Amino acid sequence: MSFSATALAQRIAAAGPDYIEDNFVRLMQDCAFLRQEPEFADLYLDFRPTLQASERHFARFKRRSIRVARRDPGAGVSAYDDYRIAVLDDLDTPQLREQLQRRLNKCMNRLSQNHDVDMLETAMFTSVLLGGEAGDLMRGRNDLPLGAFGLVTMIYEDTFDRAMVEISDAREIVDADLYTLWSIKHHQDDMQAITAAAERINAFEELAAHIKVDPALALAWERQEEHLVEELGAQIAQMGLSIEPAMFSPDQVALAIDKMERRYLNRPWSLSRYFAIPAMIKFMRCVQEVLDEVMSPEKMAEIAERLKSLGQKLLESDDERLRALTPHVQAAIRRLDDEPFPSHNQVPRIMYMMSMFAVWSDVETLNPRWQKLVKRLRKSRFVGLTARAADPAKREEID
pLDDT tens for 35-46 read: 999 999 999 999
d(CA 9, CA 16): 11
Rounded to two decimals, the pTM is 0.77
Report if residue 190 sits inside a domain.
no
Q: In terms of domains, do 246 and 173 share one?
A: no
Q: What is the pLDDT of residue 249?
A: 85
Burial class (CB in 10 A: 0-12, 13-18, 19+), 298: exposed
Q: In terms of domains, do 260 and 160 share one?
A: no
d(CA 135, CA 130): 10
Work out the angle between the directed axes of helices 150-166 and 176-185 (0-180°, nearest 10): 120
Number of domains in the chain: 2
d(CA 302, CA 50): 43
Q: What is the pLDDT of residue 381?
A: 47
d(CA 154, CA 122): 15
Q: In terms of domains, do 164 and 227 share one?
A: no
Tell which phi-psi region holds residue 261, choosing left (phi > 0), alpha (psi between -120 and 50) or beta. Answer: alpha
Q: In terms of domains, do 251 and 307 share one?
A: yes
Q: What is the pLDDT of residue 198?
A: 93
Q: In terms of domains, do 152 and 244 share one?
A: no
Q: What is the pLDDT of residue 74?
A: 57
Range of the domain at 156: 3-185
Q: In terms of domains, do 38 and 155 share one?
A: yes
Report if residue 61 sits inside a domain.
yes
Tell me which of 185, 216, 231 is where a domain ends. Answer: 185
Work out the angle between the directed axes of helices 346-360 and 326-338 (0-180°, nearest 10): 120
Report if residue 32 sits inside a domain.
yes
Report if residue 9 sits inside a domain.
yes
Burial class (CB in 10 A: 0-12, 13-18, 19+), 70: exposed
d(CA 308, CA 329): 8
d(CA 247, CA 342): 15
Report if residue 385 sits inside a domain.
yes
Q: In terms of domains, do 68 and 216 share one?
A: no
Q: In terms of domains, do 167 and 223 share one?
A: no
Report if residue 297 sits inside a domain.
yes
Q: In terms of domains, do 250 and 146 share one?
A: no
Q: In terms of domains, do 163 and 232 share one?
A: no
pLDDT tens digit string along 318-367? 999 899 999 999 999 988 877 667 667 889 988 888 887 766 666 666 76
Q: In terms of domains, do 151 and 237 share one?
A: no
Distance of CA 259 to the CA centre of its chain: 36
Q: What is the pLDDT of residue 68?
A: 60
Report if residue 163 sits inside a domain.
yes
Contact in structure between 58 and 177 (CB atoms under 8 Å):
yes
Report if residue 195 sits inside a domain.
no
Backbone angles phi, psi at 396, to 5 degrees: -135, 125
Q: In terms of domains, do 155 and 240 share one?
A: no
For the chain, residues with pLDDT lower than 70 are 1-20, 64-76, 132-142, 240-242, 272-276, 339-340, 342-343, 358-365, 367, 369, 372-373, 375-399
